[in-house]
Amino acid sequence: MRLTVIGGGGFRVPLVYGALLRDHAAGRVTHVTLHDVDPARLTAVARVLADQAAGMPDAPEVRTTTDLDDALRGADFVFSAIRVGGLAGRAADERVALAEGVLGQETVGAGGIAYGLRTVPVAVDIAERVARIAPDAWVINFTNPAGLVTEAMAAQLGSRVIGICDSPVGLGRRVARTLGTDPDRARFDYVGLNHLGWLRGLYAGVADGEDGAERNLLPALFEDEALLTSFEEGKLFGAEWLRTIRSVPNEYLHYYYFNRETVASYRQAEQTRGAFLHDQQARFYDRMAHSATPAWQAWDSTRAEREATYMAENRETAGAGERAADDLESGGYEKVALALMRAIARGEETTLILNVPNRGTLGVLDATAVIEVPCRVDANGPRPLPVTQLAGHEAGLVTAVKAVERCVLEAAESGSARAAVQAFALHPLVDSVNVARRLLDGYRGVHPGLDYLRMR
């Protein structure tokens, strides 16, 4: 099996390679091609992978290239994990938004729109090339904003592109463990868009393929104050709010439900998340330019720091304290991606929460809208499982944000600046059309990647 990673010089590639190294079964990935536009980053990451593979005779072979078509030729699976504009772009997304008093997170609000506007054209180009050069390949999209980017690529690739995120898995694992049940044997009634979903039920007692009566354990959680405040989402949102909405929201909903507080704390922070990561990652790649730097140690200590500081401002606002030891593991994405590949390539059927076209799952969205939903996956790919329909307030946010995503897709396809303004203006976290206009002007001023937008 041949895997190509686009964005192969990216910091999280060793996580993926680590998962591949732990897979020894027949039909496993034997060849990994890393593609990146930056050869220095490729060299740095390849050095970390070489450290990981040391002493492992069946380690997948790794090659690097800066030629995308070359990278795609012969691929069975393609992971797309790019960052258009780099972390400097992410920091600029945050800065421009915060200057207008709105949120600039890379996937939520104005920042997510700006990032989407410059990423979608590049993702569509990748999708077109895959369709031409590796038409039988399955594309697994890690690129944020993951739901929107997956939907953009699906226009070319149909059901052969699948988006993944680790936040629903992490949420499910935390809630299951809090309730004393095995996450691998539980069924999660989770649905929404990427970074905009809710867990409305957690059913234990039925593992994959087993029969038996299901029991929803979630109501018991809402009755127990101590349990409710013992895990990440409970600490972020507070017991009382979870009890009120009777669901456990994805952690990214903290930006919606506590928008005023998160914006304030991001404005006060010494550095935004993007600026912090920009500096942190620059230090890592600089160090890796010296052959004396121990690659694995340098990478792993950088990873640990990144994990420890994840959503720090949100946790501070909520008084949530440090992250739990289990949550610092990192290890969501690569596990989901590997399980997905195994199900498709080797028929090891499984259930995973994925970003796929709605196909009638949620009544409030059309069939092609990409949603995040538990799917049964087999050799034919993922199929969304039935879920409880959204409550009114959930449907409101989901349909509003999907409408915003559609404006971004339209802007990217037609080059319409008007559609881009509409995307900003319709977002629930942008409070004025005037702000939306200034946001687009601000973003155009800092991102050459938005030059394609024209007022017409």
Helix axes 295-308, 39-53, angle to 10 degrees: 100
**Given candidates 33, 80, 141, 167, which one binds ligand G6P under the rule CB under 6 A?**
167
Helix, strand or coil, per DSSP, at residue 138: strand
Query: Considering the rule CB under 5 A, would residue 114 count as an interface residue with Mn ion?
Result: no
Out of Mn ion, ligand G6P, none, what residue 310 binds, judged by CB under 5 to 8 A for its kind, is ligand G6P
Query: Considering the rule CB under 6 A, would residue 310 count as an interface residue with ligand G6P?
Result: yes
Q: Which residue is nearest to Mn ion (CB)?
A: 165
**Stretch in the footprint of ligand G6P (CB under 6 A) among 27-35, 49-57, 161-169, 214-222:** 161-169
Give DSSP secondary structure letters for 365-380. S-TT-EEEEEEEEETT
Q: In angstroms, rounded to a whole number, what is the distance separating the alpha carbons of residues 281 and 87?
A: 9
Q: Given the complex with ligand G6P, which of 63 and 83 has the nearer CB atom?
A: 83
Number of residues this chain uses to bind Mn ion (CB under 5 A): 2
Query: Considering the rule CB under 5 A, would residue 165 count as an interface residue with Mn ion?
Result: yes
Query: Considering the rule CB under 6 A, would residue 166 count as an interface residue with ligand G6P?
Result: yes
Query: Which amino acid appears at position 448 of this protein?
Result: P
Q: Given the complex with ligand G6P, which of 144 and 355 has the nearer CB atom?
A: 144
Q: In angstroms, rounded to a whole number, what is the distance separating the alpha carbons of residues 7 and 394?
A: 34
Out of Mn ion, ligand G6P, none, what residue 306 binds, judged by CB under 5 to 8 A for its kind, is ligand G6P
Residues 6+ apart with CB under 8 A from 153: 80, 123, 124, 126, 127, 139, 141, 161
Is 203 in contact with 186 (CB distance < 8 Å)?
yes
Query: Considering the rule CB under 6 A, would residue 275 count as an interface residue with ligand G6P?
Result: no
Instruction: Please state the closest distance from residue 369 (CB atom) to Mn ion, in A.
Output: 18
Residues 6+ apart with CB under 8 A from 380: none
Query: Considering the rule CB under 6 A, would residue 257 count as an interface residue with ligand G6P?
Result: no
Number of residues this chain uses to bind ligand G6P (CB under 6 A): 8
Out of ligand G6P, Mn ion, none, what residue 118 binds, judged by CB under 5 to 8 A for its kind, is none
Is 195 in contact with 171 (CB distance < 8 Å)?
no
Q: In angstroms, rounded to a whole number, what is the distance separating the alpha carbons of residues 442 and 96?
A: 6
Q: In angstroms, rounded to a whole number, what is the distance separating the alpha carbons of residues 2 and 4?
A: 7
Long-range contacts of 213-221 (CB under 8 A, 24+ apart): 214/187, 216/189, 217/179, 217/181, 218/175, 218/179, 218/246, 218/247, 218/248, 219/246, 220/179, 221/175, 221/178, 221/179, 221/248
Query: Considering the rule CB under 6 A, would residue 165 count as an interface residue with ligand G6P?
Result: yes
Q: Given the complex with Mn ion, which of 165 and 217 has the nearer CB atom?
A: 165
Query: Considering the rule CB under 6 A, would residue 306 count as an interface residue with ligand G6P?
Result: yes
**Stretch in the footprint of ligand G6P (CB under 6 A) among 20-28, 164-172, 219-227, 292-300:** 164-172
**Given candidates 144, 262, 302, 317, which one binds ligand G6P under the rule CB under 6 A?**
144
Which of 285, 256, 189, 216 has the alpha carbon at shortest distance from 431? 256
**Stretch in the footprint of ligand G6P (CB under 6 A) among 48-56, 57-65, 127-135, 163-171:** 163-171
The residues binding Mn ion (CB under 5 A) are 165, 167
The residues binding ligand G6P (CB under 6 A) are 144, 165-167, 273, 277, 306, 310
